[in-house]
Structure 1
Amino acid sequence: MATERLTEDLLLLTRLLRPSRHTDMTQQQYWLLRHLRCSGPQNIGELAQALGITTGSATVACKRLEKAGLITRTRQAEDERVVQVSLTDTGRTQIDAVRQQRRESLTHLLQVLDEPEQQELQRLVERLLDAAEAQGFGEMKKNDRHH
């Protein structure tokens, strides 16, 4: 019963902190831009795999982001079926701004906890992240934690 309540509370917290509260971009667009920001240019297939979505979904999201001027899509000369996706300067600026807004919101929220409570929460979150990584949740990599 306690696990169910904790699960629901954590889901509520993630909804409160989601990118769409800070911008017009969807969660999928946020994570796509964030992934490009952390990993650099990638082709559509690599993006889709990293985000756990279909290549069709990645293509649609990339077309919208390209229209908004946040990414560029370039067909590879050696194989025109392969489309390389890169952040534009505008995309980099926007994803950095959204990430900063999210950090500020969470920092403000964490101020209700005193220092020992924050340290305990940090320890528990690290355990959850380690477990998620060990179980292969979302192909998370340890270096993604700090980007």
Structure 2
Amino acid sequence: MGQEQHDQLTYRLEEQMRVILRTLRRELNQLFEGTATRSEFFILRSLSENGPQRPTLLAEQFELATSQVTALTDKLYKTGFVTRTRSTEDRRSIVLALTDEGEAAFRNLEVVRRKYLQERFGTLSEEELNVMIHVFDKILATMDEEVVSSN
């Protein structure tokens, strides 16, 4: 395969990945509408799986600015899905935790998300899924190497 053909295939792959990600984001946000956005869902999931956390830890986890996490959690706080309390170790820090209502909302959204992903990826065989995961792992490994080498 020549460089020009490789470039065309790479461009096509990038375009398909962009469309797939945009579609997944849009459709999940539509399915979650009225409860939480896709980004808010991931914060709920992290709090459910990892327990109470400081906004700075969530920001690191999702590669966001702390101000973005604060904006995302403002709605979750107003809807009663999370609580904000002062840290016992550092009174300047806030700790976010799920309420029972937030845990229930997360569980319901997780069911919706799981069903959606099964519909979207249900036509793929286990072998096809494994091949795709392997390919994405390979791509991510080169990205990780670039991050490490640029620091």
Tell me the TM-score normalised to structure 1 length.
0.74
Relative to structure 1, the CA distance from residue 20 to residue 118 in structure 2 (aligned partners, 3 Å threshold; closer, same or farther) is same
Q: Equivalents in 2 of 1:16, 1:94: separation in Å? A: 23
Q: Equivalents in 1 of 2:128, 2:147: separation in Å? A: 28
Note if contact 1:70-1:87 (Cα within 8 Å) is conserved in structure 2.
yes
Within the alignment, does 1:79 sit opposite 2:86 as a pair?
no
Relative to structure 1, the CA distance from residue 114 to residue 60 in structure 2 (aligned partners, 3 Å threshold; closer, same or farther) is closer
Relative to structure 1, the CA distance from residue 48 to residue 20 in structure 2 (aligned partners, 3 Å threshold; closer, same or farther) is same
Tell me the TM-score normalised to structure 2 length.
0.73
Q: Equivalents in 2 of 1:43, 1:8: separation in Å? A: 36
5+ residue gaps in structure 2? 1-7
Q: CA deviation at 1:82?
A: 0.8
Note if contact 1:17-1:105 (Cα within 8 Å) is conserved in structure 2.
no
Aligned equivalent of 2:5 = none
Residues 34-113 of structure 1 mapped to structure 2, 5 A cutoff:
34-113=45-124
> Structure with the greater relative contact order (CA < 8 A, sep ≥ 6): 1 or 2?
1
Q: Percent identity?
A: 28
CA RMSD of aligned residues (A): 2.6
Within the alignment, does 1:15 sit opposite 2:26 as a pair?
no
Within the alignment, does 1:26 sit opposite 2:37 as a pair?
yes
Q: CA deviation at 1:65?
A: 0.6
Q: Equivalents in 1 of 2:61, 2:94: separation in Å? A: 16
Note if contact 1:17-1:102 (Cα within 8 Å) is conserved in structure 2.
no
Q: Equivalents in 1 of 2:96, 2:87: separation in Å? A: 10
**Which of residues 101, 108, 128 in structure 2 aligns to 1:117?**
128
Relative to structure 1, the CA distance from residue 43 to residue 22 in structure 2 (aligned partners, 3 Å threshold; closer, same or farther) is same
| Helix, strand or coil at the partner of 1:5 | helix
Q: CA deviation at 1:58?
A: 1.8
Relative to structure 1, the CA distance from residue 34 to residue 76 in structure 2 (aligned partners, 3 Å threshold; closer, same or farther) is same
Across the two proteins, how many residue pairs are aligned to each other? 137
Q: CA deviation at 1:68?
A: 0.7
5+ residue gaps in structure 1? 138-147
Q: Equivalents in 2 of 1:118, 1:45: separation in Å? A: 34
Q: Which has the larger radius of gyration?
A: 2
Q: CA deviation at 1:83?
A: 0.5
